[in-house]
């Protein structure tokens, strides 16, 4: 069936050719999402991220100054290229107003942690109190056996104090997940909504 006349005229170029492919780095991303506060919007966002096989590390949602508009801060570990795709698809959702990956943009981030620490002795109580003061935290609940500590800060600060409190014995812990916001100066012009 194949008419092979003509194949003799074809000159071979050496070796196969390849497209350059981009490899993404896997790392933690912080994505800010402004959403219309509609039913199911959280489920849509979670479905989309889970659909890429990624786990949400932390997520915080709260109202903004605008009525009916909430801000979400999502932390997710993933490949840069896939996260870029996630961001584009989040933008496509009907209920999202603004989506931004702020990982590489100057930003402020805060998290609040409540930790219940085992403090049965006077010495333990003194030491915990000192640590809490250094980190400008607060003791928000006291019992004969425990102190409950509240600290706010960025990831490094929170990790540092938890490291220091660990040896006393942590009985319970609750973290809010990060909230984050782009710094007003150093606006990167290349970022689009």
Partner 1 sequence: MPRKGADIVIETLKEEGVEVIFGLPGGAIMEVYDALYRDGTIKHILVRHEQGAGHMAEGYAKATGKVGVAMTTSGPGATNIVTAIADAYMDSVPIVVITGQVPTHLIGNDAFQEVDIVGITRPITKHNFLVRSIEELPLIIRQAFYIARTGRPGPVLIDLPKDITQQLSDVSIPSEEEVRASLPGYRPHVEGNIQQIKRAVDLIMSAKKPVLYVGGGAVNAEAQEELIELAELMRIPVTTTTQGKGAFPETHPLSLRMLGMHGTYYANMAVYNCDLLIAVGARFDDRVTGKVDEFAPEAKIIHIDIDPASISKNIIVDVPIVGDVKIVLRKILEEIKKRGAKILHPEDRERWLEQIEKWKKLHPLTYRNSSKVIKPQYVIEQIYEVTKGDAIIVPGVGQHQMWAAMFYKFSYPRQFLNSGGLGTMGFGLPAGIGAKVGRPDKEVFVIDGDGSFVMTMQEIITAVQYKIPVKVAIINNAYLGMVRQWQEFFYDKRYSEVDLSVQPDFVKLAESMGAVGFRAEKPKEVREVLEEAMKIDDRPVVLDFVVDKEENVLPMVPPGKSYRDMILEDGKGTSEAETMYLVG
Shortest distance in whole angstroms from residue 180 CB to partner 1 = 20
Is 49 buried (19+), middle (13-18) or exposed (0-12) by CB count in 10 A? buried
| β 56-63/107-118 pair status | unpaired
**In this structure, how many other beta carbons lie within 10 angstroms of the beta carbon of residue 180?**
22
β-sheet bridge partners, residue 101: 31
By beta-carbon proximity to partner 1, the closer residue of 6 and 144 is: 6
Least distance from partner 1 to the Cβ atom of residue 94, Å? 5
The residues of the shown chain that bind partner 1, judged by CB under 8 A, are 1-7, 9-13, 16-22, 35-36, 39-40, 43-44, 47-48, 51, 85, 88-89, 91-97
- Shortest separation between residue 21's beta carbon and partner 1, angstroms: 5
End-to-end CA distance of the chain: 55
In the bound state with partner 1, the residue whose beta carbon lies nearer, of 90 and 179, is 90
Nearer to partner 1, 39 or 185 (CB): 39
Comparing CB distances to partner 1, the nearer of 94 and 122 is: 94
Closer of 4 and 143 to partner 1 (Cβ): 4
> b/e for 146-176, b at 16 or more Cβ within 10 A?
bbbbebebeeebbeebbebbeebeeeeeeeb
Angle between helices 80-92 and 41-51 (to 10 degrees): 150
Instruction: Give me the least distance between CB of 75 and partner 1, in Å please.
Output: 21
Question: CB 170 → partner 1: shortest distance, Å?
Answer: 37
């Amino acid at each position: 069936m194949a008419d092979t006349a003509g194949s003799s005229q074809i000159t071979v170029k050496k070796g196969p050719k390849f497209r350059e492919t981009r490899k993404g780095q896997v790392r933690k991303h912080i994505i800010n999402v402004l959403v219309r506060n509609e039913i199911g919007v959280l489920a849509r966002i979670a479905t989309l991220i889970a659909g890429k096989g990624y786990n949400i590390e932390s997520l915080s949602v709260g109202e903004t100054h605008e009525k009916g508009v909430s801000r979400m801060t999502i932390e997710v570990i993933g490949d840069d290229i896939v996260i870029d795709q996630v961001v584009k698809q989040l933008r496509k959702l009907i209920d999202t107003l603004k989506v931004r990956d702020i990982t590489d943009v100057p930003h402020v981030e805060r998290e609040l942690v409540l930790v219940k620490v085992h403090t049965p002795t006077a010495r333990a109580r003194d030491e915990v109190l000192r640590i809490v003061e250094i980190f400008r935290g607060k003791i928000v609940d006291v019992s004969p056996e425990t102190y409950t500590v509240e600290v706010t800060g960025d990831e490094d600060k929170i990790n540092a104090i938890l490291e220091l409190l660990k040896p006393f014995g942590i009985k319970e812990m609750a973290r809010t997940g990060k909230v984050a916001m782009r710094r007003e100066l150093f606006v990167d012009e290349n970022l689009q909504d």
